[in-house]
Amino acid sequence: MKNRNSENLKVLKRIVGHDLYMQIVKEFGGGPPLYVNDWGKGFTSKEDRDRAIRSDYYDQGLSVYDLAEKYNLTRSTVYKIIEHH
């Protein structure tokens, strides 16, 4: 089941664009909300982050070690993400 807040944030970001979206988020909370920060790199959902990781792995050829470093994850987590495509 997808988080409704996460889905609403994706819609907002798509409508207003990334820069204005980040301004809005900062205005209301003083900084990115935890659910954005937890996925790093400004992703608004775990699904978006995981899609980017799989793209980096399959399309760009980054290693699991490099992905773990880039996304601040354990190698075990990266393996789970890339195997779940």
How many residues are given for the chain? 85
Domain range summary for the chain, segments of one domain joined by +: 1-44, 46-85
Q: Residue holding tokens 């996925």?
A: 39
* Chain segment 26-67, per-residue pLDDT in tens: 777 655 554 444 556 677 778 888 999 999 999 999 999 999
Q: Residue holding tokens 């207003």?
A: 16
Does the global pTM surpass 0.75? no
Q: The domain at 46-85 falls in which architecture?
A: Orthogonal Bundle (1.10)
Residue among 30, 40, 42 nearest 81 (CA) = 40
Q: Is 7 helix (H, G, I), strand (E, B) or coil?
A: helix
